Amino acid sequence: VKNAHDEELSSVESVLDLIRSSGGRSTGSRRALLEVLFDSGEHRTAEELARAVKLRAPDVHLSTVYRNLEELEQLGVIVHNHLGHGPVTYQLVTRTHAHLLCENCGVRLEAPPSMFRALVASARKNFDFEVDPRHFAISGLCANCRRERDEGARPAE
């Protein structure tokens, strides 16, 4: 779980350098995966990433994508997130942030780090625990679904 510095994570080439310097090899499938990760939006599943990789390198197999994602995660280049109930999603560590996820409709809101300041401080103080709010989404109910629920709970609809 080694910590890579930000400048090492700024481009496809710099990450390939990082891979080489840790004893790995710079291969076509790794380059293609990194290009996709740097190009694409957030929270892509392994399947989505593999589909995009195949556009650049048609022979790259899904299992190779999984293996490379694991390698990149160990190097600290990407993280995976558990959002909702679907498959795991991946993204560059330099682009992570916390999320609010509606349990009911699945809508996802990006939460600013400031929102977690008190929680981070409290966990540190009370449990000596360093909270990283980016790995799992914070679940709850969005405004719409809360309204729906409250209306549904009215005595006589």
Partner DNA sequence: GTACCTGCAAATCTTTTGCACGACA
Partner DNA sequence: TGTCGTGCAAAAGATTTGCAGGTAC
Verify binding: residue 152, its own copies, rule CB under 8 A: yes
- Which partner from the list its own copies, DNA, none does 45 bind, CB cut-off 5 to 8 Å by kind? DNA
| Beta carbons within 10 angstroms of residue 70's beta carbon | 12
Instruction: Name the one range near DNA by CB under 7 A: 2-10, 21-29, 111-119, 137-145.
Output: 21-29
C-alpha 4: how far from its chain's center?
17
66 lines the binding site for DNA (CB under 7 A): yes
Q: How far is CA 44 from CA 24, 49, 60, 116, 121, in A?
A: 24, 6, 17, 24, 31
Is residue 63 a contact residue for DNA (CB under 7 A)? yes
Phi, psi of 67 (to 5 degrees): -65, -40
Compute and round to an integer the Cα radius of gyration of the chain. Answer: 19
Partner touching 113 among DNA, its own copies, none, CB below 5 to 8 Å by kind: none
Pick between residue 21 and residue 115 the one whose CB is nearest to its own copies.
115
Return the one option of DNA, its own copies, none that residue 57 interacts with (CB less than 5 to 8 A, by type): DNA
Question: Scanning residues 68 to 107, which ones bind DNA (CB under 7 A)?
Answer: 68, 70-71, 86-88
Strand partners, 89: 45, 81
